Structure 1
Amino acid sequence: MSFSIGPTITTNLTAPPPWYMTPCYVWPWGTHPGGYRMVKVETGQKRYTHRVMYEQVKGLIPDGLQIDHLCRNRACMNPEHLEAVTQQENILRGIGPSARQARQAHCLNGHLFDRANTYMYKGRRQCKTCQYERNLRTRARAAARASG
């Protein structure tokens, strides 16, 4: 599949790319603000290069799935670095706040997040041990104020 780049340059995405110096294939044109790369296909529409490459090499992206960059490089379009996954899997594999919190096994005070010691409050995991200790401190301060 060929793609036009500008008025006179045409390239073939399936040809070995000469412009990369790492295992990632980085498309040198069409930078998108989010770090992804864009290419204009024959229909004139702009598409993400990693999605085009995945479809060229591995087939159509199944409905409900996204393409995950296993290398964590959004500009990469190496088909070996691309995998179709659910949105939840893609988020959890990432490095954002949701992924970091999901991987967190202990609270900030070192107590284990397990069924017996964890409850949900406003959509976030909370440590029962820490809450119990906060309640004890609050009651102690209230008793100290009351006695005087």
Structure 2
Amino acid sequence: MRRKRKLIDERIIGKYEQRGQDECWPWTGARTSANYGHLLADGGDDGARRTVLAHRAMYELHVGPIPAEAVLDHTCHTRDPSCPGNAGCEHRACVNPAHLEPVPFGENCMRGRGIAPRNAAKTHCNNGHEYTPDNVRLNKNGARVCRKCAAARLRRWKERHPDYVPPNRRR
């Protein structure tokens, strides 16, 4: 006889510590290496089992579907300046639907503590030149490049390679 499979909401019961509405509800079940709670759930029409992130499952159960273009931001993390971020972040295990907000991926990154928001906050390059529209260009990866520093690098390179002739000027 086949074992009856449990629905996601049945699997979630007892796997988180429900506290006050404004407090984090930490996931007490299994966690990923990045510290997000996860659980095994029945799949869609094919009946296959799949792993789902606990905070996403809780949001969908209590609030509704997550927009296709959005990811869930843990607003409890955004409000806590003492949180180290990354895998050490306990907020990643929070499944309180009131602490989850669907936002575009880029906005979620900029709310975090990673390299992208730190670089975006910079107003000067490493050599002290101000980032202004006239002094900045974007490289092929979209990163800001200081024009003054780039010109100085090119000048130094040409001093070290006085005999170099670009391929399009060779005869």
Query: What TM-score do the two structures reach when normalised by structure 2?
Result: 0.63
Once the two structures are aligned, what percentage of the paired residues are identical? Answer: 33
| Residue 105 of structure 1, CA deviation | 2.3
The structure 2 residue matched to 1:11, chosen from 11, 14, 23, is 14
Partner of 1:130: 149
Give, as a single letter, the amino acid of the residue that structure 2 aligns with 1:66.
V
Partner of 2:128: 110
Partner of 1:92: 110
Judged with a 3 Å threshold, the aligned counterparts in structure 2 of structure 1 residues 142 and 79 are, in CA distance, closer, same or farther, namely same
Runs of at least 5 residues in structure 1 that lack an aligned partner in the other structure: 144-148
Considering Cα pairs closer than 8 Å and 6+ residues apart, tell me whether 1 or 2 has the greater RCO: 2
CA distance in 2, matches of 1:2, 1:70: 23
Q: C-alpha deviations, 1:58-105, integer Å up to 9, x for none?
A: 211111111111223211112222110111111222222233222322
Check conservation: 1:67, 1:84, Cα contact below 8 A.
Answer: yes
User: Superposition pairs for residues 1-148 of structure 1, below 5 Å?
Assistant: 2-4=9-11, 10-11=13-14, 17=18, 23-41=23-41, 45-72=50-77, 73-123=91-141, 124-135=143-154
CA distance in 2, matches of 1:32, 1:140: 52
Q: Compute the RMSD of aligned alpha carbons.
A: 3.2
Equivalenced residues, count: 135
Choose between structure 1 and 2: higher strand proportion. Answer: 1
Runs of at least 5 residues in structure 2 that lack an aligned partner in the other structure: 1-7, 44-48, 78-90, 163-171
